[in-house]
Amino acid sequence: MPVDDHTLAQVAMSRAEYDRLIDRLDREPTEVELGMAGALWSEHCGYKHTRPLFKHFPTTGQYVLTKVGEENAGAIDLGDGWCAVFKMESHNHPSAIEPYEGAATGVGGILRDIFAMGMRPIALLDSLRFGPLSIPHNRRLFKGVVAGIGGYGNCIGVPTVGGEVQMHPAYSGNPLVNAMCVGVGRREHLLSAAARGVGNPLVLVGADTGRDGIHGATFASVELDEGSEERRPAVQVGNPFMEKLLMEACVELAEQHRGWIEGLQDLGAAGLTSSAVESANRAGTGFELDVALVPRRERNMTPYEVMLSESQERMLVIPKREHLDDVLALFRKWELHADVVGTVTDDQMATIRDGGSVVARIPIAVLSDPPQYELEPERPGELDRLQAEDLDAPPDLAAADATAALLTLLASENIASRQWIFRQYDHQVLNHTVVKPGGDAAVLWLRGTPRGIAVSTDCNGRFVALEPRVGAAMAVAEAARNVVATGATPAAITDCLNFGNPEKPGVAYQIEQSILGLSDAARVLGTPVISGNASLYNEVPEAAVLPTPAIGLVGVLDDIERHLEIALHEGDEVVLLGAVLEQPVATLAGSEYQALTLGRAAGLPSIDLEFEARVQRLVLEAHRRELLTGAHDCADGGLAATLAESCMAGATGLDASALAVAGRLDAALFGEAPSRFVVGTRDAGTLLELARAANVPAVRLGTAGGARLRLGPVDVDIEAMRETYERALPERLAGVEAE
Amino acid sequence: MRAAVLVFPGTWSDSDCMYALERVGVPSRRVWHRETHLDDDELVVLAGGFSYGDYLRCGAIARFSPIMGAVQSHAANGGLVIGICNGFQILCEAGLLPGVLMRNASLQFRCQDVHLLVDNRASSFTQGLDPRHPLRIPISHGEGNYFADEATLDRLEDAGRVAFRYCDASGVVTPEANPNGSVRNIAGVLNERGNVLGMMPHPERACDSRLGGEDGNAIWHSMLESVGVSSR
């Protein structure tokens, strides 16, 4: 029976892909087989356009235990038998349609990835992008997403400790919601998501299966349009309480009964289809699954619907046969129901039954081998024009306007205090949050040891848009700088690659160049990629999102009691490391100051990765020698905003008024050159000496104290500044948005 | 002294409470809500969390858990019971404490430090506290807006059963210091005998200077001294 275009569109499969499927099967697929292949061959599950580029990622390093792609998330060694797993994933399209549930289930999904590996989730972070908050629809999305993240994380009891949010017109209507989770545990408790052991049962545990989320994976693989609202049924509904029980049961299995099971796999995009197929593929086995054994929450569901449902809070467990009863009893104790729905086979086939009849029988190899497309990148012509713009043409900031300019920046929606967001997230549960949201990176204590980890997410889409290879490298560098500013050594990264439609040459260029830039930086900074996710087709009819390869980075801290924070303390000598005061005008390219004054991004940002690594090493070395009292990555809003944040955090002023600024004032105060830190020290002489020896420029800015920040012509009261900084977001978000 | 930390489906502060108790030298054990006995545990802790997801009214299902019978008897026999956050909500639903906890006036979840004025020093939990020094302790809840009718509130105040009120850093009770709209800034209340305390703030999170403060420990120390166990 020839398949019509509508059916193919539903599974987001092209006619050519359909022909390829027939070719591989040597027959027409059944309806269930088509649905399964469509989901696994979707961009979301199959990485059709990005996989060929993954070879560029550095994947090994001294900390790496589990490499990218081997399991649901990578793992790093924390020493003394401890390890951490982490991953970041997108839930953009669902959040665009239904912000609360879209964001909530994004959190739920990333948590399952982590505890599927037997690790206890200890931290959540979110990298968010929205259109300007002046538009009511964006405010509605913003509030819904924040509420959804809090709703899920607060209920399940995993702290939301950090992340970042940026607003830009290109995200209007297509917000980005990327959730990251970090889990820790003992190395010997790491679980595999492999369906090993022929004859072992497949056990489905957790929520009943409903019609929610059918075609979620394919929905994530097409552009949003006016009809997208009708896709609301493709958005899942979360139940964090159920997931809490699942998480406790799975962690208990890993920590106490590792020997009972062969594998544990979460159900995410494409539900039972992807979890069963992926786990069999990993083990080189096959499976037989009877949909009649799957508990449902709705009547008359077809085998197709059962196999493609994305109902949340479900896990697939592969117990050893002899421990099936033990495993079922453990889930019963946690008041969960668990059912045997299939068996591991040795035929490398996915066989789906509906009671007595076989509804699908398809080689795992076919399902796991989606078509791969070489991108056809073409450098957008406008890049050369934007980069060539004369940034010196706009007049420099007048000294008399410098203070007002700083206050405007501190009140801008991209820099203003995030307190409105973070106070809605439980960031302290589990009693290990050492540095709370608001610093450069969250610091978490591995209780029972002196160690900790530092975690940060980062990406400035404006830099990436101006020159993708540079911007992506800058994202990695900034994430690493954030972690270094706490005194931790960067260990590894996860990435969430958010782009528009890869079939468009300009977007293809952004994807390719970003992956190259990300890889350049990861290699030079010693932070291999251990996990990741790609989210393409982030477009509305008007435009694509800014290219946003969001980076999540984890660093290792040997002694939690010796971490650094951004606050300055009275009496600290304040030093800028990594640059002199005078900055070329090019450092305004892609900056927040430029966005506010010019209304757009222009110019060519740049980064010297070898230099960046040198500056980061210098900060870690100075910290090792106990020279530092605090450190802050100098980034958004430039030197002036960075100092302002450190002053506010420490409730102290700084007098650097005597410094003469040569060159353009706006670039010196607000330029966003990378590779810079503001640090506090009690021994500026030794620190400056160390910097000289490392061939890193440094400037002594002044001594912290008093109630005012004075920096060149800037002169502002700390508490007045705080008022502006803290009131900006609540004021923009006041009131209730209509649907 | 030994403590029983109750675990309902959805409880998440159990390990935090056990860590805080460990810091003041009190051994503790987890007790799953399906159990029916409390052995010889002298202190019962109902920890924070979202029991049953708080999908119904907070604490409304947990109060029917099998272990709650033993909690009632323990309290009736004068045993010490502390309910923190969701535990406070459960104690109110179970009738062990008066009043209810409604949705925060802001309609938003709040996780932040608050200051608590010690308003009563006649209970085991508060007798060792210094009323001149407000405690800095975090809150983390969406439904901590304490309410009771005027007559009940007057009775509570007359009997000295308001344990804590939200105040500013200098110890002054102000509307601005009230994070959730609680009537008369009430953050914690006692039962008539003074052996059952419910409070929304999380003393177990303020137990270690490495985590930002240890004001919460004063409550555990006070309790230990009241039963004649010297602490520290």
ipTM for the predicted complex: 0.96
Best of A152, A312, A422, A429 to mutate (most B CBs within 10 Å, chain B): A429
Q: How confident is the model at residue A659 (pLDDT cuts 50, 70, 90)?
A: confident
Q: For A353-386, write each residue's pLDDT tens digit.
A: 999 999 999 999 999 999 999 999 999 999 999 9
- A232: region left, alpha or beta (phi > 0 left; psi from -120 to 50 alpha): alpha
First-to-last CA distance in chain A? 44
| 8 Å CB contact of B55 and A241 | yes
Q: For A532-572, write each residue's pLDDT tens digit.
A: 999 999 998 888 999 999 999 999 999 999 999 999 999 99
The region of weakest confidence among A45-54, A170-179, A402-411 is A45-54
Which residue does chain B place closest to A247, by CA atoms? B10
Q: How confident is the model at residue A43 (pLDDT cuts 50, 70, 90)?
A: confident
Using CB atoms, pick whichever of B16, B49, B55 lies closest to residue A431. Answer: B16
DSSP summary character for residue B211: G
Using CB atoms, pick whichever of B53, B111, B202 lies closest to residue A427. Answer: B111
Q: For A72-85, write each residue's pLDDT tens digit.
A: 889 999 999 999 99
CA angle A423, A429, A433 (to 5 degrees): 80
Mean pLDDT of chain B: 95
Using CB atoms, pick whichever of A156, A241, A426 lies closest to residue B52. Answer: A241
Using CB atoms, pick whichever of B10, B12, B52 lies closest to residue A429. Answer: B12
| C-alpha closest to that of B149 among B102, B192, B183 | B183
Looking at domain B2-226, what is its CATH homologous superfamily?
Class I glutamine amidotransferase (GATase) domain (3.40.50.880)
Q: For A393-418, write each residue's pLDDT tens digit.
A: 999 999 999 999 999 999 999 999 99
Q: Is the pLDDT of residue A491 over 80?
A: yes
Look at residue A72 in the predicted model and tell me its pLDDT: 83
For chain B, which residues make up each domain, given as ranges?
2-226
Strands A314-319 and A201-206: antiparallel
Q: Is the pLDDT of residue A228 over 70?
A: no
| 8 Å CB contact of B111 and A447 | no
Structure tokens at A394: 């706009």
Residues of B in contact with A428 (CB under 8 A): 111, 138, 140, 202, 205, 211
Structure tokens at A691: 């910097």
Cβ contacts of residue A464 below 8 Å, gap of 6+?
A471, A472, A474, A475, A510, A514, A546, A547, A548, A549
Q: Does A312 touch chain B (CB under 8 A)?
A: no
Tell me the nearest-neighbour CA distance from B210 into chain A, angstroms. 6
Please indicate whether residue A454 or residue A4 has the higher confidence score (pLDDT). A454
Look at residue A590 in the predicted model and tell me its pLDDT: 97
Backbone angles phi, psi at A202, to 5 degrees: -100, 120
Over residues B192-221, the mean pLDDT reads: 96
Per DSSP (E only), the strands in A291-369 are 314-319, 338-345, 349-354, 357-363
Look at residue A232 in the predicted model and tell me its pLDDT: 57
CA distance A291 to A281: 20
Q: Does A433 touch chain B (CB under 8 A)?
A: yes
Over residues A150-176, the mean pLDDT reads: 96
Per DSSP (E only), the strands in chain B are 3-7, 28-32, 43-46, 80-84, 100-102, 110-118, 135-141, 145-147, 162-167, 186-190, 196-199
Cβ contacts of residue A198 below 8 Å, gap of 6+?
A285, A344, A345, A346
B85 given a catalytic annotation: yes
CA distance B182 to A486: 38
Over residues A327-332, the mean pLDDT reads: 98
Question: Angle, nearest 10°, between helix axes A684-693 and A609-624?
Answer: 140
Residues of B in contact with A245 (CB under 8 A): 9-10
The region of weakest confidence among A224-233, A293-302, A313-322 is A224-233
Q: How confident is the model at residue A217 (pLDDT cuts 50, 70, 90)?
A: low
DSSP summary character for residue B213: B
Look at residue A236 in the predicted model and tell me its pLDDT: 79
**Three-state secondary structure call for residue A481:** helix
On whether the CB atoms of residues B75 and B195 are closer than 8 A, the answer is yes
Look at residue B232 in the predicted model and tell me its pLDDT: 45
Q: For A280-296, write each residue's pLDDT tens digit.
A: 999 999 999 999 999 99
Please indicate whether residue A287 or residue B57 has the higher confidence score (pLDDT). A287
The region of weakest confidence among A8-12, A471-475, A599-603 is A8-12
Best of B107, B109, B110, B214 to mutate (most A CBs within 10 Å, chain A): B109
Best of A145, A149, A154 to mutate (most B CBs within 10 Å, chain B): A154
Q: For A190-202, write each residue's pLDDT tens digit.
A: 999 999 999 999 9
* CB-facing half-sphere around the CA of A56: CA atoms within 13 A: 17
Q: Which domains does chain A have, with CATH numbers?
A: 31-40+191-371 (3.90.650.10), 395-416+564-733 (3.90.650.10)
Mean pLDDT of chain A: 94
| 8 Å CB contact of B19 and A431 | yes
Look at residue A71 in the predicted model and tell me its pLDDT: 85
Residues of B in contact with A434 (CB under 8 A): 210-212
> Which residue(s) pair with A455 in the sheet?
A442, A554
CA distance A273 to A533: 19
Q: Kindly tell me the number of DSSP H helices and DSSP E strands found in chain A.
A: 25, 26
| 8 Å CB contact of B140 and A430 | no
On whether the CB atoms of residues B160 and B188 are closer than 8 A, the answer is no
Q: Is the pLDDT of residue A231 over 90?
A: no
On whether the CB atoms of residues A468 and A500 are closer than 8 A, the answer is no
CA distance A23 to A553: 42
**Three-state secondary structure call for residue A287:** strand
Look at residue A572 in the predicted model and tell me its pLDDT: 97
Which residue does chain B place closest to A149, by CA atoms? B109
On whether the CB atoms of residues A350 and A29 are closer than 8 A, the answer is no
Task: Say what percent of chain B tops pLDDT 70.
Answer: 99
Over residues A715-728, the mean pLDDT reads: 97
Total count of residues recorded for chain B: 232
Q: Is the pLDDT of residue A312 over 50?
A: yes
On whether the CB atoms of residues A412 and A592 are closer than 8 A, the answer is yes
| 8 Å CB contact of B204 and A431 | yes
Backbone angles phi, psi at A336, to 5 degrees: -110, 150
Tell me the nearest-neighbour CA distance from B204 into chain A, angstroms. 8
Q: How confident is the model at residue A34 (pLDDT cuts 50, 70, 90)?
A: very high
Structure tokens at B92: 């109110």
Q: What type of residue is A422? A: F
Q: Does A156 touch chain B (CB under 8 A)?
A: yes
Three-state SS sequence of A572-634: CEEEEECCCCCCCHHHHCCCHHHHHHHCCCCCCCCCCHHHHHHHHHHHHHHHHCCCEEEEEEC
Using CB atoms, pick whichever of A244, A428, A447 lies closest to residue B138. Answer: A428
B202 given a catalytic annotation: yes
